[in-house]
Amino acid sequence: MNNGIEIRWHGRGGQGAKTAALLLADVAFKTGQNVQGFPEYGPERMGAPITAYNRISDSKIRVHSNIYTPDYVVVVDETLLSSVDVTSGLKKNGAIIINTPKSREEIAEKLEEYSGRIYTVDARKISEETLGKNFPNSPMLAAIVAVSGVMDRNTFIKEMRASYQHKFAKKPEVIDGNMKALEMAYDIVWSAVEGDKMSLSA
């Protein structure tokens, strides 16, 4: 893969990190890109640390190995920061996105060996506000789309609505909440990304 991006997801069994990686592959596919979305299977248990991956590219993807030098890392569960080396191999010009109520400055202290960009999003809060339950994967999916720019907001929102309408055909009442979660998370992270661009150019 020469011109694509590579993403690594860290989560815990049951939080939907694998589902989020597959959903990302799904929406990126719909925008005409070549995609890969795959989990790394270990002892699959509720709560066990799990890893999932995405490759997204304009050209055909042939590599079938895990991702060791990702462009982006998504951490769906903040508690993993103390047990998993989440920034391992993460490119300096890439970014890490973490589900946490903490500020990026607080997180930066924990990730002191990593000098790249950090984005935080309180996915639990967003999820609880919009869905009434803690399903952090939808907000995290929106966050990685906003940071990586694999597609624009309109396309993402349009494709995700279609995707949810299919996925939740039997419980349409959850679609609006999920869409709201996506939009909130996207906008929060997008403004942080834009802020960084401004300060860089200033």
Partner 1 sequence: MAIKERMSGNEAVSYAIRQINPDVMPAFPITPSTEIPQMVSTYIANGEIDTEFIPVESEHSSMSAAIGAEAAGARSLTATSSAGLALMWEELLLAASNRLPIALALVNRTLSGPININCDHSDSMGARDTGWIQIYAENNQEAYDNFIQAYPIAEHESVHLPIMICQDGFITSHAVENIELIEDNYVKKFVGTYTPEEFLLNPSKPISVGPYSISSYAMEAKKNQEIALENAKAVILEVAKKFKKISGREYGLFEEYKTKDADYIMFIIGSAAGTAKQAVDELRTCGKKVGVLKLRVFRPFPAKEIANALKGCKAVAIMDRCESYNGNTGPLGSEVTSALFNNKVIIDTVNYIYGLAGRDFTVDETKAVFSELEDMVVNGKKIEQHKYIGLRK
Residues near partner 1, by CB under 8 A = 1, 22, 25-26, 29, 34-39, 41, 60-66, 68
Instruction: Determine the distance from the C-alpha atom of residue 151 to the mean position of all C-alpha atoms in its chain, rounded to a whole number.
Output: 13
Instruction: Provide the minimum distance between the beta carbon of 54 and partner 1 in the complex, in angstroms, as a whole number.
Output: 9
Instruction: Tell me which DSSP letter residue 19 carries.
Output: H
In this complex, which beta carbon is closest to partner 1, that of residue 55 or of residue 124? 55
In this complex, which beta carbon is closest to partner 1, that of residue 56 or of residue 189? 56
Contacts of 70 (CB under 8 A, 6+ apart): 6, 7, 8, 53, 89, 90, 91, 94
What backbone phi and psi angles, to 5 degrees, belong to 45? -140, 155
List of E strands, 13-48? 34-40
Instruction: Provide the minimum distance between the beta carbon of 152 and partner 1 in the complex, in angstroms, as a whole number.
Output: 20
- Which residues pair with residue 53 across a beta bridge? 8, 38
In this complex, which beta carbon is closest to partner 1, that of residue 117 or of residue 163? 163
Instruction: Provide the minimum distance between the beta carbon of 34 and partner 1 in the complex, in angstroms, as a whole number.
Output: 5
Tokens of 160: 């995700």
In this complex, which beta carbon is closest to partner 1, that of residue 25 or of residue 143? 25
Instruction: Provide the minimum distance between the beta carbon of 38 and partner 1 in the complex, in angstroms, as a whole number.
Output: 4
